[in-house]
Structures are given as structure tokens and as C-alpha cells.
Amino acid sequence: MTDSLYALLESRFPADRSKPLLETEDGTTVTYADAEALAARMARALSDRGVTKGDRVAVQVDKSPEALILYLACLRAGFVFLPMNTAYRPDEVDYLVGNAEPAAVVCRPDDEATVRDIAAKHGSPHVLTLGTDGSGSLADAAATAPAAFPVVDCAADDLAAMLYTSGTTGKPKGAMLTHRNLAANGLDLVDSWRFTADDVLLHALPIFHAHGLFVACHCVLLAGASMIWLPGFTREQVVSLLPRATTFMGVPTFYTRLLGGTDFNRAACASMRLFTAGSAPLLAETHEAFQARTGHAILERYGMTETGMLTGNPYDGERRPGSVGFPFPQVEVRIADEQDRPLGTDEIGGIQVRGPNIMKGYWKLPEKTAEEFTADGWFRTGDVGRIDDRDYLFIVGRAKDLVISGGYNVYPKEVESVIDDLPGVVESAVIGVPHPDFGEGVVAVVVPAGDGAPDEAVVIAHCKDHLANYKTPKRVFFVPELPRNTMGKVQKAQLREEHAGVFGG
Ligand code: MCA
Ligand code: AMP
């Protein structure tokens, strides 16, 4: 028996494959049969170009039905799907392609020339394109390929996907996710959240991250359900389409934006049975305002790229504002001290996790992988929390230097390196401070070298050239020196306090 995730998904597709898998905003329907056939054609097209099982396929394309089907094609053929944020700049794509050594890169038609240069530099043999309307050289190749390609046998431990997450070192690391990791987590979620074939998920998340791709799509695919497939989150569109949906998943920014107009109310949510939130902390006040407005208690859950979903508030039972609930069925969670000793009720410590959902490791970084696991096999999340006497987990902080802005992770070290490269900059410290829309907003505090130092606009423009726009500081402040403790460590807590009101948050 194969452990291919594709085989598992396929075994749960509806018997009647003419059922819609998704419908787009313009009313185009993609049935399960369409998706299976196109996945087979795309797998064949890539395979004909020499891509084989275990090869990485790096993808930076806008969200479209075909983009999702490309993921299915890779699963089907045993290729390792490597999605990239569409906001990544060429420098960031260059690093990922150089590190992952993909056998093929699929990009937006407009980016083809740049991506060809990057791929050539790193010896990646094939560049194909895929546009939002499903056109491009991948689509052309798939159109002439036969709609038949076997579901390639995969072991539980074979890689299904690789998602890059940054880190305190500043360079992104590839989290290797296996067929078992994704299958185990998907099955936990589809059961815990009671997905059935009758569900319609309104899908407004990007699909280059775990939330939009795995959490959302696997629930739908494993239930044989349907989606309304939006290219991204637009408040008006979501409010107008919710009456046709039963479920919705979002980052907290989606929910604060929805609450921003009175047209979002009980009537708009009349057909809904479940709203889930995650990727960043959902403020208790947002949870409460949402419940007061709609009658629905958002189900907040907690996860990571490296681990999939870890805990969630209960489907039945109290969904507590400020808590991320209980471990999913196959997941174990403990709070531990600095020596990895388990702590008791309400004691604050590092959140450590274990289960079939935890990644195999970081790509080509065995030492870094080893550092993230304890001697007894628990993964250190880098989040700090406590478990109360009712077993609810509360996240109280982060041990890692990380900013989460609108659900996207920004690693200060990466931004600081880019700013420090500017002539006229001695050093910089990047922090996150409360932001009314994005939860946290990125701020840079820069020590200028004196004459010839850049101003705020220059720092921002330089960052935009080299970094995805959401990583770019929204404000830059100049100081003669950074506050340090006696060990010489920059006091970011002090900087966060000093700049707490910058965005009026
Ligand atoms: C856009 N901008 C942002 C962000 N998004 N700035 C800070 N943080 C952001 N997240 C800026 C752009 O740089 C641009 O600025 C301006 O806002 C408008 O850009 P636009 O693309 O039009 O913005 P938007 O469409 O309104 O996007 C906001 C968004 C989006 C819808 C909240 O960020 C989003 O879809 N976030 C979801 C993130 C997500 O899926 N995370 C899951 C990670 P300028 O004009 O200056 O260039 S997975 C994960 O974390 C784990 C596994 C988990 O637990 O889920
Ligand atoms: P990523 O690396 O993008 O997968 O981000 C994972 C991180 O997002 C976690 O380690 C947490 O710090 C944060 N996160 C995810 N869900 C939540 C949540 N519900 N509440 C607070 N933080 C969260």
C-alpha cells in the first residue's frame, strides 16, 4: 500500500467526480474530474522534461485554480512542491532556488526573463510559466500531454513539500514536510472541524503558505467538499460571498477588516458553521467583538510551517478568547524549562511538540535540525506559553526574534542585514510594534554613520528592492546608538516600548 498523500486524497474524492472542487469569482467551475485530469497532464508535462520523484519543483505564481492543481500534480508524481511567496523579490527567489536546486521552476509569465537568469545561474534546467488565467508554457505543455499519469508510489517519509521559513540566522531554511506529516495533520483537522462533503469553504488565503495550502485545501479535499476560490482577500468580496459558504479560514487581519463595516453581520453569516483563525495571535477583543456581531465564536488554532497545526479550540465546548485550545488528536504538547524539563499547570515555559505532523528536518541543515529537537525527540517551537488547569494552551510570548505582520513572518535579522548593507548605516534593529490592521507593524531603528547617512525614504526604497514588501519597515527612526545590556545585546524590548505608539496601536 502506498503512503502517497495524493492516493489518500484521491481515495476521499467524491464518487461523483463531476462535483465542483472549486468555483472562481467569475463563476468558472473546476470539478474533481477536471482537477484529476489536469494534475495528470501537468505531472506528465513535467516528467517529460526530466523531473523525477524527489525533485523539487519551485513555484512562484499568482493564485489560480491551476496553481492549486500544480500542487496536486506534484503530489501525484512524487515531486517535492516548493511554493514561494509571490511578494518575494529576485534576491529572495535567487537564494531559494540556489539552496533547493529545483529541477524545474514555475513562474509568472512576466517574471520569466528574471527567473531564467536565476535558474541558469544555479543550474536548474527548466523554467515554465503559469499565468492567473491558466495560460503559459506549463499550461501549453499540459494541454498536449495525455491525461494519464500514475499515482507514484511514495513512502510515508518521502518529501511531499518544502516550505521555506526564515530564522534567527537571517537566511531562510527549507522545512521538509513528508507525505505522512501532511496526511496526519490533514486527517486531524478534517475530523476535528467536522468537514463533510456538504461544506463550501470560502478560500481567500494565499496558497504559498501552510495555512492556505495545507490547512484549508486538505480539509476540503479530504472531505470531498467544495471551495469558492478567491485570488486573495478583499473585504467586499468576502462579505458578499459568505452567504454561499459554510466555512471560512483567516488570519486575524481578515477578521478585524471584516468587522470594519456594518454589512458584516448575522445575516451575512447565516449559512456559516465555522470560522477559524491562526498564523498570528487573535486579540481577545476581536474574538469578543466578532461573537457579539455575528453570534459565531471564532475557533482559534495554533501551528507552524514546520509542524502543521498543533492545537485548537474545541469544535464543541468553550472556544476561549486568548487561548489556542487543546492539542489535535495525534499531537502532544508540553511546556518545558530551559533544560527541557516538563513544567506544571500554569507555569510559563517553551512550547514543545511531538507527533507524526512534525517535519523531517531542515533541508541540508542537519545541525540546525538537531538543535531544534530535544534529546527526547520534542520539537522546540520557539513560542512561550502555559497550560491552565483546564488544559487550555495560552501563548504568552516568543523566545524567537520574530515579527508577525498580517499573518506573514518577518525575521528582523534578515531585514537588518539588508539595511546594514546601505552605505551610511552603522547598524540597525528591526522590531514589531502594535499595528491596527496587521497586528504588528515592522519598524527599523537605525544608527547613521554621520554625513551621507540615508533618510527614511532611502532605507524603505532599498528594502523594497531587496525584500518582499511586507518585510519592508513601514517606519524608520534614527538614533545615535542602540540600547544594549551589559552583555552587549540590543534591548529590543526597550525599543518596542519606545515605539509602541507609532501606528497609533
Ligand atoms: C500587504 N502589506 C503588508 C502585508 N500585506 N504589510 C505588512 N504585513 C502584511 N501582511 C502591504 C504591502 O506591502 C503594500 O504596501 C500594501 O500592504 C498593500 O498590499 P496588498 O497586497 O494590496 O495588501 P492586501 O491584499 O490588503 O494584503 C493584506 C492581507 C495579506 C490580505 C492581510 O497580507 C494576507 O493575505 N495575509 C495572509 C498571510 C498568511 O496567509 N499567512 C499564513 C502563514 P506598499 O503599498 O507599501 O507596498 S502560514 C503560518 O503562519 C502558520 C503555518 C499558521 O499557523 O498558519
Ligand atoms: P510560520 O513559521 O509562518 O509557520 O509561523 C509560525 C508561528 O506563528 C508560530 O510559531 C507562532 O509564533 C505563530 N502563530 C501561529 N498561530 C498562532 C496563534 N493562533 N496565536 C499566536 N501565534 C500564532
Query: Which atom of ligand 1 is closest in space to residue 438's alpha carbon?
Result: 8
Cβ atoms of 253 and 438 closer than 8 Å:
yes
Grid coordinates representing 104 are: 524545474
Query: Which atom of ligand 2 is closest in space to residue 210's alpha carbon?
Result: 4
Whether the CB of 419 sits within 6 Å of ligand 2: no
Cβ atoms of 352 and 378 closer than 8 Å:
yes
Name the region of 382 (left: φ>0; alpha: ψ -120 to 50; beta: rest). Answer: left
Q: Which residues pair with 335 in a beta bridge?
A: 351
Query: Which atom of ligand 2 is closest in space to residue 209's alpha carbon?
Result: 3
Close Cβ partners of 108 (under 8 Å, ≥ 6 residues apart): 60, 61, 62, 86, 129, 130, 131
To test the pocket of ligand 2, the residue of 383, 394, 411, 414 to mutate (highest count of ligand atoms within 8 Å of its CB) is 383
pLDDT by residue for the chain (505 residues), tens only, comes to 899 999 999 999 999 999 999 999 999 999 999 999 999 999 999 999 999 999 999 999 999 999 999 999 999 999 999 999 999 999 999 999 999 999 999 999 999 999 999 999 999 999 999 999 989 999 999 999 999 999 999 999 999 999 999 766 668 999 999 999 999 999 999 999 999 999 999 999 999 999 999 999 999 999 999 999 999 999 999 999 999 999 999 999 999 999 999 999 999 999 999 999 999 999 999 999 999 999 999 999 999 999 999 999 999 999 999 999 999 999 999 999 999 999 999 999 999 999 999 999 999 999 999 999 999 999 999 999 999 999 999 999 999 899 999 999 999 999 999 999 999 999 999 999 999 999 999 999 999 998 888 999 999 999 999 999 999 999 999 999 999 999 999 999 999 999 999 998 5
Domain 233-398 falls in which CATH fold?
Answer: Rossmann fold (3.40.50)
Supply the pLDDT for residue 450. Answer: 80
Note the pTM of the prediction, 2 decimals.
0.97
Whose C-alpha lies nearest to ligand 1, atom 45? 469
To test the pocket of ligand 1, the residue of 238, 251, 313, 359 to mutate (highest count of ligand atoms within 8 Å of its CB) is 251
Q: How far is the centre of ligand 2, averaged over its atoms, from the C-alpha of 316 (Å)? A: 23
CA 232 to chain centre: 14
Whether the CB of 473 sits within 6 Å of ligand 2: no
Residue whose C-alpha cell reads 507527533 in the numeric block: 355
C-alpha 90/C-alpha 106 separation (Å) is 14
Q: How far is the centre of ligand 2, averaged over its atoms, from the C-alpha of 279 (Å)? A: 4
Whose C-alpha lies nearest to ligand 1, atom 55? 279
Q: What is the CATH number assigned to the segment(s) 403-498? A: 3.30.300.30
Supply the pLDDT for residue 427. Answer: 97
- Give the number of the ligand closest to the Cα of residue 397: 2
Q: Which residues line ligand 1 (CB under 6 A)?
A: 205-206, 209-212, 232-233, 251, 253, 278-279, 303-305, 405-408, 438, 469-470
State the span(s) of the chain assigned CATH 3.30.300.30.
403-498
- Give the number of the ligand closest to the Cα of residue 209: 1
State the span(s) of the chain assigned CATH 3.40.50.12780.
5-179, 233-398
C-alpha 23/C-alpha 31 separation (Å) is 9
Whether the CB of 279 sits within 6 Å of ligand 2: yes
CATH homologous superfamily of 5-179: ANL, N-terminal domain (3.40.50.12780)
**Burial of residue 461 (number of CB atoms within 10 Å: 0-12, 13-18, 19+):** exposed
To test the pocket of ligand 1, the residue of 466, 469, 502 to mutate (highest count of ligand atoms within 8 Å of its CB) is 469
Q: List phi, psi (to 5°) of 194.
A: 55, 40
Whether the CB of 163 sits within 6 Å of ligand 2: no
C-alpha 491/C-alpha 494 separation (Å) is 5
Supply the pLDDT for residue 166. Answer: 76
Q: How far is the centre of ligand 2, averaged over its atoms, from the C-alpha of 408 (Å)? A: 9
Query: Which atom of ligand 2 is closest in space to residue 278's alpha carbon?
Result: 19
CA 227 to chain centre: 19
Whose C-alpha lies nearest to ligand 2, atom 12? 383
To 10 degrees, the CA torsion angle through 443, 449, 451, 452?
-60
Query: Which atom of ligand 2 is closest in space to residue 324's alpha carbon?
Result: 19
